Structure 1
Amino acid sequence: MTSLGNAGSTLPLFVAGIGLLGLILSPLADSLIARLLPRIGGLPATRVRMSTALITGLLSAAFAWRFGADAGLPAFVLLAVAGVQLARIDISLHLLPNPLVLSLLLGGLFFLLAAIFGGSGWTDLLRASAGAAILFAVYLILALISPAGMGMGDVKFAAPIGLYLGYLGWSQLLYGGLLGFILNGIVTLFVLRRNRGERASEVPHGPSMLFAAAAVALFLI
């Protein structure tokens, strides 16, 4: 895996272009999800769609700034688009739809596999696959130990999160996983103190997991 550490004057244009791509893909994802997953409840409110698009565009641009023309960048743009959608749905419905989680996992695998032909090594893909299995297994064990503390949607979402963290490296997998647990704990305590009738398994953990993965991807080199 390589990054565009110094691309001169072309880097700002490249970053802006990828950010614009994220802005465009976000409303398309809104429409596609509303059409294919009607149980989600149709299109969200305009303000929510605008916020989702803005976050997706900024995250896509941040990934472009971090990775440059790396062959794995398309996979991270997918993470920005699908991950933000999953976070949005989790916040509003306390749900991480299986088809969307599976699409992120399989799409990420496809783009990371394609990245091999762009310069990445097989070891990156193998480590990514191991990361997906490891983080999924850890979340599954925690869910089995404490079913009231974590939903199965979070367990399934751990697989694509582990995929991306594993692709970046073992250290990223470790720190990203730990940061996700810490953020989940903080969010759970905050929500339960505000809504005492809420169950811990109903707390939206998806946004914390996505934030942890993005933070580690962007700032842990």
Structure 2
Amino acid sequence: MTQSSRPPAPAGGRLRLDAPSADVLRGHALAVGATAAVTGAALAWRLGSSPLLPGCLALAVLASVLGAIDLALHRLPDALTLPAYPVFALLLAYPAAQSPETALRALLAAVALPAFYLAAALLPGGPGLGDVKAAGPVGALLGWVGWHAVITGTFLAFLLTALAGIARLVARRASGRTRLAFGPSLYAGAVLALLLFGR
């Protein structure tokens, strides 16, 4: 599962994307763009004119970008995960004003999901701190839909990671001690939950 992003700090500060991550995005730009487009189209079809749609489209882009980096480097860079918090807060500001009760649930989920992943990170083979940082915006979107979406998305994240591990073992591309990138499963689980329950 994903380890926390701790590359050497480049000139310009902590929130500047590191060179290896930028290289991954340049080398896989077409795949990343196609994944974001397909994911965004599926969410747009499911959600229609929902006020949650802008946040979900942002999630599609973020998931595609960070998923590619995590698969290649086992890293979720702070330069992408941390700025997502104010971006998603802005995208959810208008719908939050229309439904304060739903917004409160989304806020609670945005706190609860990282807290859950932080607890899981303390276990052997658990998620890394990069996954903890990535979980806030995911929790907000799933929490907006409902606690059932939060639970389903989280369950699917672990299920998908387990299936990926089994597939790699069967293909003899990994051993029982091989760490797997958890970020792609975290985002895929969230997208699937949004497709199942979004409105």
Q: TM-score range by the shorter chain?
A: 0.7 to 0.9
Aligned to 1:131: 109
Choose between structure 1 and 2 for higher RCO, CA contacts under 8 A separated by at least 6 residues. 2
TM-score (norm 2): 0.81
Aligned to 1:122: 100
CA-atom RMSD, angstroms? 2.3
Structure having the larger proportion of residues in helix: 1
Deviations, residues 121-174 of structure 1 (Å, cap 9, x unaligned) = 01222111111211111111111132x433211222222221211111111111
Aligned with residue 143 of structure 1, among 114, 121, 125:
121
Counterpart residue identity of residue 153, structure 2:
G
Deviations, residues 74-116 of structure 1 (Å, cap 9, x unaligned) = 1111101112101011011110011211122321121111223
The answer to whether the 8 A contact 2:24-2:68 is kept is: no
The answer to whether the 8 A contact 1:183-1:208 is kept is: yes
TM-score (norm 1): 0.73
Return 129-138 or 183-192, whichever deviates more.
Answer: 183-192
1:206 aligns with 2:186: no
Aligned with residue 42 of structure 1, among 22, 33, 48:
22
Measured in 2, the distance between the counterparts of 1:91 and 1:44 equals 10
Displacement over 4 Å in runs of 4+: none
Q: Which runs of 5+ in 1 are unaligned?
A: 1-35
- Size of the aligned set, in residue pairs, is 182
Q: Which runs of 5+ in 2 are unaligned?
A: 1-15
Measured in 2, the distance between the counterparts of 1:190 and 1:93 equals 20
Aligned to 1:157: 134
Measured in 1, the distance between the counterparts of 2:48 and 2:21 equals 37
The answer to whether the 8 A contact 1:59-1:80 is kept is: yes
Give the CA deviation at 1:59: 1.2
Measured in 2, the distance between the counterparts of 1:134 and 1:72 equals 20
